[in-house]
């Protein structure tokens, strides 16, 4: 859609009122239709060579995640070694895209990953609820960045969004983006900012579309569905709506924004369905770890199992794949 | 950037067992036609001959109508509604059990994508039998007075676009209400009807309750004109429908006709655009546009015309045209050489009349009957492609400025089968559906079917309703009372 004239886009964030006008002026989403489209795409049958391609692509797009109270340096180190060699018996398996941890574990991950090229993503801004002051959110972000995070996964203030204070959400994203800046980096090359919409709490697809545009207007490098702490987490139709948003945003502004569904994606079948969705909605430009990520943990082993099945014709039991 | 190419994912043909030749299904048995003539049914996606099909002539139609009459007077009319319902439930269950076989056979004989025969046609067929099975013992409470009576023998003629689904629309209500039937499937798509005959045998349906006679237009005419037929039900072209109406005029026969259409799919500027694009695609490219209620005239509000066209063209670039049995195919083959010729002719007329023709880049197979998804812009009401039913994957795009103009243009057609309205305003949906002279008005969706919902036309789209409680009326002697 190119209904957004450039002037309107530039003005959109100039005041609370214009932001509201802009977001409420976006074309609505019909839930039944969006669900039906996602369900139809989910029937695509991805076999043989297409499946091989999709499995390796999906592995390379994973943000391998551990976000538990019980996380320890040991657990994070184990995960980092899994990230680099998902299958110790098969060097042809690609690395994952990133490791996603809490801020205090960023130094551990950074050290463990070394020069592997795997990014370290840190959640921040009082993840997962985001219920704290902006000053604390910024400090949280700066901490993570200072510790070496390449990417920051922030949460939006859903309370503010749902009560219509779009300006506040916008300003917070701008402020966190600022906190992503690195002293040693040139302007605009700070940590990549992924903005978590927590679509399970926004509920309607109209809200998802508005929050996506709000985040992109405020400078998000990625828009992400969920924290994984709220059910439902990522769903196909929600991701469809977000992919439409990034597609339309690029048409309107020329800037490409990435998408990251996270939470609840556990099987290869699920992951391949997301890739089909990307392929047929935003297009092949998004089919790369630079523009599409999957936030997951147990998904990786299922991908490895399916990969081995394709190569050998046999399924190996779960004990033939490493826990982490 | 990597390219995500979908590898071929063909559905297996092994599940179907196509015989080299088929007789006529009369009195519960497959019998040879009296004079032994036959014709061939081919696979439209590659022109492979699938089977020899018997052609029914006068003597065969006589035998079929007699078998239906005997079955009606001796068994079917004497059964309680509950017992008729049992047979219908049994048929519905067998259809579900043999769903894959039916879907593959339908795609082979018709050319439609397996995704549609598997996910739309056959599930709806089963649903239709289940639905009318439920009515069989409740006819006293259907609103037609106590103990409504069937006509007797129904002669039914169905088209080639949804062979099995149209069979279900005809046979399920006829049997539920206590009629027996002689059904003629289209000459290009007889195979699933013949498999249905086997299903009737499998269900132990009393002989003669369902008879299937194959053949082309002449066979149909013989059936319609047969004096032993009490009720004629036809789905097909308006031209043939008119001939049938003339033929039954002045006789005791009752007729219901479901004919052509040139539906308007109306997109208002407040529509959910992404879903409307899907609705446009589903409206005209579903089943290669071989849909009588297809949204073949797209009416777009002028203020969003450019955006809709841009989005639509981008979306059409992702349509996958090709092997009907590939599970990822979106658009399959045109059903016959004859239909392909008609689509080509009308498309050429569209160009000659000054409309702009556009198709996405797509490679079409060399053998078989293929036509790319096509969009005509700059179309006006006076163009033939805006008035005549093309019955193919060809969309004519027109614009409007106000709701009143949309209604005026939508209704300005000899047809009146269906329409679509896309808007976020509930009040406008209700207003539009009152103004549109069409049997079905879809709101924020298109080409959705359900056995509980009546379907039928205004004006040259025919008369009578199929589906729902209304669909019972077409097979019961209730006109006088109602």
Domains of chain B (ranges, CATH numbers) = 21-259+460-473 (3.40.605.10), 264-455 (3.40.309.10)
Which residue of A27, A30, A48 is in closest CB contact with B7? A48
Whether ipTM > 0.90 holds is: yes
Q: Do B2 and A57 touch (CB under 8 A)?
A: yes
Q: Which residues of B touch A32 (CB under 8 A)?
A: 275, 444-445
CB pairs under 8 A between A and B: 88
What total number of domains does chain A contain?
A: 1
pLDDT computed for residue A47 by the predictor: 96
What's the longest Cα–Cα distance across chain B? Answer: 71
Q: Do B3 and A284 touch (CB under 8 A)?
A: yes
Rg of chain A (C-alpha set): 19
Active-site option among A224, A248, A270, A302:
A224
pLDDT computed for residue B481 by the predictor: 43
- What is the SS3 assignment for B209? coil
Domain carrying residue A122: 6-312
Q: Which residues of A touch B450 (CB under 8 A)?
A: none
Residue A18 falls inside a structural domain: yes
Residues of B classed as catalytic = 258
Residue A320 falls inside a structural domain: no
pLDDT computed for residue A1 by the predictor: 41
Domain at A217, CATH number: 3.20.20.70
Q: Which residue of B has its CA nearest to A29?
A: B272
Q: What is the pLDDT of residues B410-459, one digit of tens each?
A: 999 999 999 999 999 999 999 999 999 999 999 999 999 999 999 999 99
Q: What is the pLDDT of residues A133-146, one digit of tens each?
A: 999 999 999 999 99
Contact between B155 and B221 under an 8 Å Cβ cutoff? The reply is no
A7 touches B: beta carbon within 8 Å? no
Phi/psi for A45 (5° steps) reads: -105, 110
pLDDT computed for residue B36 by the predictor: 87
Contact between A106 and A122 under an 8 Å Cβ cutoff? The reply is yes
Q: What is the mean pLDDT of chain A?
A: 95
pLDDT computed for residue A186 by the predictor: 58
**How far apart (Å, rounded) are the C-alpha atoms in residues B50 and B291?**
24
Catalytic residue at A224? yes
Q: Which residue of A has its CA nearest to B312?
A: A1
Q: Which residues of chain A have pLDDT under 70?
A: 1-8, 183-188
Residue A324 falls inside a structural domain: no
Of the residues B9, B272, B316, the best mutation for testing chain A's interface (the one with the most A CB atoms within 10 Å of its CB) is B272
Residue A317 falls inside a structural domain: no
**Chain-centre distance for alpha carbon B155:** 17
3-class secondary structure per residue, B223-285: HHHCCCCCEEEEECCHHHHHHHHHHHCCCCCEEEEECCCCCEEEECCCCCHHHHHHHHHHHHH
Give how far B12 is from chain A: nearest CA, Å. 13
Q: Do A34 and B274 touch (CB under 8 A)?
A: yes
pLDDT computed for residue B480 by the predictor: 55
Q: Do B4 and A287 touch (CB under 8 A)?
A: yes
Q: Is the dihedral of CA B467, B469, B475, B480 positive or negative?
A: negative
Q: Which residue of A has its CA nearest to B5?
A: A50
Q: Which residues of chain B have pLDDT under 70?
A: 1-2, 479-482
Residue A323 falls inside a structural domain: no
Of the residues A4, A5, A28, the best mutation for testing chain B's interface (the one with the most B CB atoms within 10 Å of its CB) is A28
A26 touches B: beta carbon within 8 Å? no
Q: Which residues of B touch A279 (CB under 8 A)?
A: 4
A43 touches B: beta carbon within 8 Å? yes
Residue A105 falls inside a structural domain: yes
pLDDT computed for residue A3 by the predictor: 46
Q: Which residue of B has its CA nearest to A4?
A: B307
Contact between A237 and A206 under an 8 Å Cβ cutoff? The reply is no
**How far apart (Å, rounded) are the C-alpha atoms in residues B397 and B375?**
7
């Amino acid at each position: 859609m190119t209904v957004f004239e450039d002037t309107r886009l530039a003005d959109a964030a100039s005041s609370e009122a214009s932001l509201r006008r802009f977001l409420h002026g976006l074309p609505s989403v019909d839930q039944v239709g969006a669900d039906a489209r996602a369900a139809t795409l989910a029937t695509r049958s991805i076999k043989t060579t297409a499946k091989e391609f999709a499995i390796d692509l999906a592995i390379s797009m994973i943000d391998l995640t551990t976000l538990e109270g019980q996380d320890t340096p040991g657990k994070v180190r184990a995960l980092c070694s899994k990230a680099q060699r998902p299958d110790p018996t098969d060097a042809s398996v690609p690395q994952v895209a990133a490791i996603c941890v809490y801020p205090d574990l960023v130094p551990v991950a950074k050290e463990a990953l070394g020069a592997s090229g795997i990014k370290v993503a840190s959640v921040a801004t009082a993840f997962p609820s985001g219920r704290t002051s902006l000053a604390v959110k910024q400090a949280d972000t700066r901490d993570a960045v200072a510790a070496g995070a390449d990417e920051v996964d922030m949460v939006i203030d859903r309370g503010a969004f749902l009560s219509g204070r779009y300006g506040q959400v916008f300003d917070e994203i701008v402020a966190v983006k600022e906190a992503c800046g690195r002293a040693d980096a040139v302007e605009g090359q700070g940590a990549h900012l992924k903005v978590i919409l927590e679509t399970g709490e926004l509920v309607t697809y109209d809200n998802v579309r508005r929050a996506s545009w709000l985040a992109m207007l405020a400078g998000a490098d990625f828009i992400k569905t969920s924290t994984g702490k709220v059910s439902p987490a990522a769903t196909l139709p929600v991701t469809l709506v977000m992919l439409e948003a990034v597609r339309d945003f690029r048409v309107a502004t020329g800037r490409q924004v990435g998408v990251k569904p996270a939470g609840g994606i556990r099987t290869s079948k699920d992951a391949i369905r997301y890739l089909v969705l990307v392929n047929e909605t935003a297009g092949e430009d998004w089919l790369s770890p630079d523009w599409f990520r999957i936030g997951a943990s147990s998904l990786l082993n299922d991908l490895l199992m399916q990969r081995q099945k394709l190569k050998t014709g046999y399924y190996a039991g779960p004990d033939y794949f490493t826990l982490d | 950037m990597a390219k995500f190419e979908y590898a071929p994912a063909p559905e297996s043909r092994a599940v179907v067992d196509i015989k080299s030749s088929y007789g006529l299904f009369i009195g519960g048995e497959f019998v040879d036609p009296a004079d032994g003539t036959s014709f061939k049914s081919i696979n439209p996606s590659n022109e492979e001959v699938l089977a020899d099909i018997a052609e029914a002539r006068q003597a065969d139609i006589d035998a079929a109508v007699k078998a239906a009459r005997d079955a009606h007077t001796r068994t079917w009319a004497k059964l309680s509604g509950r017992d008729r319902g049992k047979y219908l439930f049994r048929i519905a269950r067998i259809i579900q059990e043999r769903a894959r076989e039916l879907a593959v056979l339908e795609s082979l004989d018709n050319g439609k994508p397996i995704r549609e025969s598997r996910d739309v046609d056959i599930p709806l067929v089963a649903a239709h039998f289940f639905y009318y099975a439920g009515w069989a013992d409740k006819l006293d409470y259907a609103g037609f007075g106590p103990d409504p009576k069937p006509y007797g023998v129904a002669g039914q003629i169905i088209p080639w676009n949804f062979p099995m689904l149209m069979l279900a629309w005809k046979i399920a209500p006829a049997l539920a209400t206590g009629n027996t039937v002689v059904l003629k499937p289209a000459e290009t798509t007889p195979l699933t009807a013949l498999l249905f005959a086997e299903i009737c045998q499998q269900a132990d349906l009393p002989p003669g309750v369902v008879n299937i006679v194959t053949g082309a237009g002449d066979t149909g005419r013989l059936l319609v004109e047969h004096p032993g037929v009490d009720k004629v039900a036809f789905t097909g072209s308006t031209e043939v429908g008119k001939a049938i109406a003339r033929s039954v005029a002045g006789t005791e026969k009752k007729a219901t006709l479901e004919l052509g259409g040139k539906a308007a799919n109306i997109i208002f500027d407040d529509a959910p655009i992404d879903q409307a694009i899907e609705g446009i695609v589903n409206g005209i490219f579903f089943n290669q546009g071989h849909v009588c209620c297809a949204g073949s005239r797209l009416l777009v509000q002028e203020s969003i015309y450019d955006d809709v066209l841009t989005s639509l063209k981008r979306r059409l670039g992702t349509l996958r045209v090709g092997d009907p049995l590939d599970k990822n195919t979106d658009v399959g083959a045109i059903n016959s050489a004859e239909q392909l010729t008609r689509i080509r002719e009308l498309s050429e007329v569209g160009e000659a009349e000054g409309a702009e023709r556009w198709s996405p880049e797509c490679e079409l197979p060399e053998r078989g009957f293929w036509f790319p998804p096509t969009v005509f812009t700059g179309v006006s009401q006076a163009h033939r492609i805006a008035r005549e039913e093309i019955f193919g994957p060809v969309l004519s795009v027109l614009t409007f400025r106000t709701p009143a103009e949309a209604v005026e243009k939508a209704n300005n057609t000899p047809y009146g089968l269906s329409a679509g309205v896309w808007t976020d305003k509930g009040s406008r949906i209700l207003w539009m559906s009152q103004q549109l002279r069409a049997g079905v008005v879809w709101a924020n969706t298109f080409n959705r079917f359900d056995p509980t919902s009546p379907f039928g036309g205004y004006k040259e789209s025919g008369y009578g309703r199929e589906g729902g409680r209304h669909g019972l009326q077409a097979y019961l002697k209730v006109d006088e009372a109602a």
